[in-house]
Amino acid sequence: MNFNDMLKKKKTESPETTTEINDTIDNESTETTQNTTPAEKSAEDLLKEELSLANDKYLRLYAEFDNFRRRTIKEREDARKMEGREVISDLLPVLDDFERALKATENATEVAPVREGVILIQNKLKNTLSQKGLKPMEAIGQPFDADLHEAITNIPAPSDDLKGKVIDEMEKGYYLNDKVIRFAKVIVGA
């Protein structure tokens, strides 16, 4: 069996492991050695044998690389599917607290205890997210920075020292592990 036949066989069968290829190659090499005696080998036969050994090595290496590539692709897909698992499992208690708060609001006559419960849930959520590396951005009174802030509008500054600085914050910005994940939407003094 020559190299082209082996490639055609590889493409049609697409063996999953290198052991299948190795077994095929071993069987073929024993067949060729049984057909010829060492004294009858010519230089051409030796070169053909050398070529077939090189092709065998190539096919084995190709099969190993192909298996490695498939395995790493599968591992990456599995990792992507599970990358947010830890954060989500840490947020589940907060979700449970929100469900309890909604049930409590059905029969509540006073707003103050419900408000206190919602504040507790908010603090629990903030603490959980800060443990994961989330930090709120302090923008009010800071000089406007296009790398951190998104200016919604400019208004006349109430005083000269607030010109070019953030006067109000419409939406809070956040850092995740010291990288901006959401820009603060701000109003800048002009």
**Residue 36 pLDDT:** 47
pLDDT (0 to 100) of residue 53: 94
Give the class (CATH, top level) of 135-190.
Answer: mainly beta
User: Model's pTM, two decimal places?
Assistant: 0.52
pLDDT at 69: 95
* Residue 52: per-residue pLDDT: 93
Say which amino acid occupies 126: K
The answer to whether 28 touches 59, Cβ cutoff 8 Å, is: no
Q: In what order do the strands lie in the sheet with 134-136?
A: 134-136, 174-176, 179-182
pLDDT of residue 117: 85
pLDDT along the chain (190 residues), means of 10: 55 53 57 53 89 94 95 91 80 85 81 85 88 86 85 83 85 87 86
Element (H, E) at 62: helix 43-82
pLDDT score recorded for residue 73: 95
Polymer length in residues for the chain:
190
Phi, psi of 74 (to 5 degrees): -65, -40
| Phi, psi dihedrals of residue 153, rounded to the nearest 5° | -160, 165
120: tokens are: 């507790």
- Read off the amino acid at residue 14: S
Q: In the prediction, which pLDDT does 134 show?
A: 86
Give the pLDDT of residue 15.
47
Asked whether 189 and 157 are in contact (CB, 8 A), the reply is yes
Measured CA distances, 184 to 127, 138, 139, 144, 164 (Å): 20, 9, 7, 10, 15
